[in-house]
A and B are shown apart, each in its own frame.
Chain A
């Protein structure tokens, strides 16, 4: 979780939100959350499950933007 917040801190273009899935079941269902942590990029343009190292999460973000 902290990594997403670190990315937000570094870039004014990045916002990162922790969402407690059980408190927001509709949003979690919409994003098909099955395993946690699940990181959804730009409302579903990309999605990764599990803890990703810095460089790999960054790569996923870059791919989601294309």
Chain B
């Protein structure tokens, strides 16, 4: 029997938030790897536990090598890798939201917030920010380095 990563208190709190705030379905794509991936198992277990909390959340498991085409489509090159997508009847919407490495500690709440945002299909940004982003002409890649705390 594998120990739960999320204790009952956390699950209860997250469930309360999810019940109130999740509206539309979200799918997490998990990419693992069979070689040299210290945190793949933990990360997979974490997203399994999180997606089990609400029926609005879904999870698909992929392997970076075996599912190379999917990995390429979603720009995943590192494992464990997560992509948070909006699940629609005619396919998933990829907003370009990814994680490389386990979202633990402070970043666990980022994951929860991401799921709520994607479920709502709205970025929640200020009107001025939205207007400025609409003017973008070239691709932007933001890589946010964090440490587990």
On A, residues with C-beta under 8 Å from B are: 1-2, 4-24, 27-28, 31, 33, 36-43, 54-55, 58, 61-62, 65
Q: Which residues of B contact A10 (CB under 8 A)?
A: 123, 125, 129-130, 133
Tell me if B's interface is mostly helix, strand, loop or mixed.
Answer: mixed
Total inter-chain residue pairs, C-beta < 8 Å = 165
Q: Which residues of B contact A58 (CB under 8 A)?
A: 129, 132-133
On B, residues with C-beta under 8 Å from A are: 38-39, 75, 78, 84, 95-103, 107, 110, 113-114, 117-118, 122-126, 128-130, 132-134, 136-148
Are A24's CB and B101's CB within 8 A? yes
Q: Which residues of B contact A55 (CB under 8 A)?
A: 126, 128-129
Are B98's CB and A37's CB within 8 A? no
